[in-house]
Chains A and B, each alone.
Chain A
Amino acid sequence: MYVAVKGGEKAIDAAHELVSKDRRGDAAVPVLSVDQIEHQLGLAVDRVMAEGALYDRRLAALAIKQAAGDLIEAIFLLRAYRTTLPRFGSSEPVDTAAMAIARRISAIFKDIPGGQFLGPTFDYSHRLLDFALEDEAAQNTAMDDTAGEDHATEAGPGALKPVTAILERDGLIEGEAAHADRPVGDITRVPPTYPAARDARLQALARGDEGFLLSLAYSTQRGYGRNHPFAGEIRSGHVAVEIVPPELGFAITIGEIELTECQMVNQFKGSADKPPQFSRGYGLAFGRSERKAMAMALVDRALRAAEFAEEITAPAQDEEFVLSHADNVEASGFVQHLKLPHYVDFQAELDVLRRLRDELSLREAAE
């Protein structure tokens, strides 16, 4: 008697074992340590923290190791951990003007107060494979070697006023007022509704998939919701995180996090109730996720189309479309759920299809 085999417990256990084996790879190669990932794959850690929406370098590194380098899987691991953490409250807004700068550039003024700081960037490197990196023994000794000229200084210039403040002083760019009376939205605690408030929108973008936002941002540059952007300022560095415990009533610093912030300056020709002035798109991401921060800023500005009475024609301007598809944990899960069995639904489809075909052949026979 044939018994339908539908998989089961043993198969799952075996699959998990195979994953562990694959992750470990060739036993002759030393195990990759979480420390090594944390310190030597820092940009991967940054991305996992940003989209995992949890600032913890160690856990992000662990997630990357567990996911065998699959960053979306690592993001998922971190999210599923984050969601169980209790919420004590919200921090004070971080003051990016007080950032200890590691990198700060502006594309709109040649010289800016405090200067331009290139910092660590791939921007001006020639993308030639550096075969010297294969020689690990040499790198271990080179690190100890303090001889030779050192162009790089670790510390940047410290606190610098944002470039947009220069425009703001002359009224050339829209002002940005905080709503101190309004609690900050949290899309992980309040289900999304449309139209979304800008805080909820920015949170969704900050957690959104870098690739998705990058492509949307790119589409605005190619005419699908064009908004004439300039990179007003991009800065990376550490900022202090402060909270106000209710029993103290004043702010205390609980730690430092590394952030990348992008302020896009966009054209705005003015409307009936607003004078012509530059408008803003804002991007902020954990770590040195600069591509993400820039893409986010472009998409943020595109999503403000209605606010500026601009015609909404392109996908990047469509809030519901962008926000409901930006989350890669949701997207990855739902795309891949097609792997789950659908026998029952397929059987129902077969039933309908067969009846349609039967009726068609009956009709044809009758004709």
Chain B
Amino acid sequence: MGVRASGAGERRTVKGTIEIDQERCKGCLFCVEHCPKKVISLSNKLNMKGYFVAEFSGGDGCTGCATCALVCPEVAIEVYKA
């Protein structure tokens, strides 16, 4: 169980996190569109294939619901839950 302090001094529990294999990502935006917590966005980083890749914003919004992994065509996302 991860516990982090936020800037306002509140204690929030990190419920989940994801890892995106950015070399597999093709920037299709399915994960960005369907993440219910909107913690994934398209970055301005280019991978070796020449795609702008999706990026996890971090923070404590992710609940580990794995919807991103469900919709990702490239099997680029692994999901962790507390």
Q: Do A and B bind each other?
A: no
